[in-house]
Amino acid sequence: MKFSKFGEKFTRKAGITQLMDDLGDALANDDILMLGGGNPAHIPEVQARFRKRMESILSEPGEFESMIGNYDGSRGNAAFIEALAEMLCETFGWNISPENIALTNGSQNAFFCLFNLFAGDMPDGSKRKILFPLTPEYIGYADTGLTDDFFVSKRPSIELLDDGLFKYHVDFQGLEIGDDIGAICVSRPTNPTGNVLTDEEMRHLDELAREKGVPFIIDNAYGTPFPDIIYTEASPIWNSNTVVCMSLSKFGLPNFRTGIVIASKEIASAIADINGVMCLAPGGLGARMAIDLIRDGEIMRISQEIIQPYYQRKAFQTLEWFREELGEVPYRIHKPEGALFLWLWLKDLPCTSAELYERLKARNTLVIPGHHFFPGLEADDWPHKHECIRVTYAQDDETVHAGVKIIADEIKKIYG
Ligand SMILES: Cc1ncc(COP(=O)(O)O)c(C=O)c1O
């Protein structure tokens, strides 16, 4: 069989596909300690809310039938979009209307559309790229470009903090935005590190993007106002040059694949057009499950009072366990500021993080080796890329604690 260039590109078995297969296998195997995936926790209070909502949909005459039996428009469920626009205007004072919003099948799908909207082959024959001003950055962005050589990114500056912590910052000195940049993108909070870019960094990036006349894409999958998995001060930003992408996944509905793009009317409308071609309309189950929570603002209360403290406790508990177990090892951990992960930096590790991953896998413990999180920096032989691992703390405490013990034990053996 002959595949097109598109077929070849998207069926190329990247290292990450192998990792995702390992993670998939792990879910089916109870003996594996799963500290690798990005699945959000099953938080009982949140799940109970959704169970109640589903029961009310089932008991209300006609609601279930319309939920399963009607397509939404290509922009996504209109009632949900209207309620969301109203909530964002009221909460943050953003100047938006429903025309500034489009839904997608998960925010992953939104990034595929947005990146290819702004980068790749341009109509005038030139090529443009997506810039990640700070790596490590989300693994899911890699390989989303329809053409090769699609991303460019920068090393961060590293601030060493007390208590074995550190924090990445955007290195503005080394940051040049050439004419070949189509858009700038950051995740905030960042997957894999739990970093939250400061308000000042965001303001500066926003300014650079506007000066260059390119959109500033902000991946808010873990951000405010929902699911609000942020443990530090961070002001939300939106203006007509930013593209804020949100998701219902980390709020607890990953399987309903609901992504949200909030952008200029032109960009939101382009996303709706792409939806029309790619899938007619985004699935509307997530929107129907969450609409009441948006209308009465409960989505923010649940985020702040249930989801955020749930993960914050787990983040600091896991940090404590690593401190207890790792002892004298020359490790540092990125300051946990949000998301579901701890990012361990093992300075001068005598093997690569990929080898550490294999050794841990042999002990039924899954993490993600750090070198996958540098999209656009593949050619850079910076040793730091091979000295880090991402550990997810979303699983139950017993699993995370057992995993931390094995990870620490293996790391100590490697340092000898
Ligand atoms: C930073 C970040 N952005 C986007 C996504 C995509 O999530 P979804 O497609 O479920 O909305 C994820 C998923 O883990 C993520 O971590």
CA of residue 324 to ligand 1 center, whole Å: 31
Cα–Cα distance measured from residue 416 to residue 414, given in angstroms and rounded to the nearest whole number: 5
CA of residue 260 to ligand 1 center, whole Å: 11
Nearest-atom number in ligand 1 for the CA of 247 is 11
CB atoms within 10 A of CB 233: 9
CB atoms within 10 A of CB 200: 10
Query: Looking at residue 228, what DSSP letter applies?
Result: -
- What pLDDT tens digit does each residue of the chain (416 aa) get? 899 988 988 887 666 676 777 777 777 777 899 998 888 999 999 999 999 999 999 999 999 999 999 999 999 999 999 999 999 999 999 999 999 999 999 999 999 999 999 999 999 999 999 999 999 999 999 989 999 999 999 999 999 999 999 999 999 998 989 999 999 999 999 999 999 999 999 999 999 999 999 999 999 999 999 999 999 999 999 999 999 999 999 999 999 999 999 999 999 999 999 999 999 999 999 999 999 999 999 999 999 999 999 999 999 999 999 999 999 999 999 999 999 999 999 999 999 999 999 999 999 999 999 999 999 998 888 999 999 999 999 999 999 999 999 999 999 999 98
The answer to whether the Cα torsion of 14, 253, 319, 404 is positive or negative is negative
Domains of the chain, CATH where assigned: 5-46+305-415 (3.90.1150.10), 71-301 (3.40.640.10)
What's the first-to-final CA gap in the chain, in angstroms? 50
What are 187-205's pLDDT values in tens digits? Answer: 999 999 999 999 999 999 9
Q: Provide the 3-class DSSP secondary structure of residue 292.
A: helix
The CB of 219 under 6 Å from ligand 1? The reply is: yes
The answer to whether the Cα torsion of 327, 331, 332, 333 is positive or negative is negative
DSSP 344-355: EEETT-SS-HHH
Residue 22 contacts residue 366 (beta carbons within 8 Å): yes
Nearest-atom number in ligand 1 for the CA of 187 is 1
Give the 3-state secondary structure of 186-219: EECCCCCCCCCCCHHHHHHHHHHHHHHCCCEEEE
- Which one of 39, 107, 253 would you pick to mutate in the ligand 1 pocket, going by the greatest count of ligand atoms within 8 A of its CB? 107
CA of residue 2 to ligand 1 center, whole Å: 32
Residue 85 contacts residue 294 (beta carbons within 8 Å): no
Amino acid at 389: I
Cα–Cα distance measured from residue 407 to residue 259, given in angstroms and rounded to the nearest whole number: 34
CB atoms within 10 A of CB 21: 11
> In Å, what is the CA distance from 90 to each residue of 85, 172, 294, 316?
9, 34, 12, 33
Cα–Cα distance measured from residue 209 to residue 79, given in angstroms and rounded to the nearest whole number: 32
pLDDT for 298 equals 96
